[in-house]
Structure 1
């Protein structure tokens, strides 16, 4: 019986976005700017919601949670990628690679379900405005956020436990810019059937179930809006949903492009570009979407800035 080489892997080499040395510095500067904008934008959104009493509502409580997830999601991926742009050999130790995958998976799944929770919040606000404060009480919001993080860390734990059982004895170069599941499984010399079934099952659940929740919510929202008599009322109702719809389309579109089709269908370039979109670009876009397209946020920001700049007299 032929023995398989089962040498323990202690580190991986990350291929990165490109091997062209002329692009390393420009890409470093671009992604550094994107990351700084992401951190400042999302932390700024959290601080704004925290210190603006007019934003102490369930909608903005969920939005602050989304901003926290986006900030963490980007931080798990981008700093290591930036280091790889300026180092000659892009090495990541095995434990750090597993940890990066774990937290990437947890926050990606959490964002899927957080967007669904935000859609449900908009449904309650528009369809049952008189019962909104009762239905979306502080306790309900707290349980929703706990459920969102619970689904994220449950999925990440399941994937990671089975990933730890995989034997890596092939070439140790990960053909990606971070430790994602499928690029890691390509390096395996043991069976990955269970990992692939688990990935497809969890991906389908964590994408399709939130998407169905979002679609159902917006079907009821549209029906409710059509029953509003005044044009101004309809316009206001649509405006409260437009930011969320845009965020949903951008995030789920790029996510489904990778995880809801066989890996053989995607080219490596397409997969990397799509991954860049939802791991790095989307966390940067969300604060812009919710600030530029939301009147309440703009008013709260102007009010907060005026209070900061206003001279204080004894």
Structure 2
């Protein structure tokens, strides 16, 4: 991976994404004793950063591959991202979703033109169903986070953030499947100046934290967290990038996630989803360490089920 790869990716996807704003809050700066710059991917098309990786992955396919469509498995944001990116590019999208996925997310996928194939809510079922569609339709499989084109696309959010705020000392992101933090780490490495990347992760699904400790990809036995976007695990493509370029992962309790989410809703008047609040919760938890630092936080998305708010 080179600096140019990330630049080329950004140029490629620019017609299909929003350049999202960077917001600040005097009050939140005072609470944390830091200068925070929030990269608002909750204002991205389809409401999350995943539009970036989805657009790049589809654009990197050949015309012959695009003509047969794409398939992915996702319970939410990547499903919506692939559906919208595919629609924007005139490509058929098959979306494998667990039967337990929120109806609001299923409706969004349908609204963006994706064809939903439901399966039982296990990773094995998701993968098997995706493989079946690949065989039947000849569709290209796009992984939500363990795919280099997806990782590069996700990294463009931090690239833009560093263009707007060149002297950031830290960038915080949530950690789920690892695509966003791996892409962010590459952007910080190539475009930052001694800019460290820190992940926020719930204690309930702390597989990435344990993976960095053990040196191998760990899994979660249970996924009892309100941060529904962070229930997935790292992959063999993004994990080496994370090992090399991510400084640390800070774990947070469920209540800390709710408090951080509530604070952003109340003080900044913007909607973020629980997964998105995790990196800010990590900063709040450890704020003494980051006094007077310039910190970027990628607000990953705002796709909230308003019927099931945690507060």
Q: TM-score, normalised by structure 2?
A: 0.23
More helix by share: 1
Q: TM-score, normalised by structure 1?
A: 0.23
Larger Rg: 1
More strand by share: 2
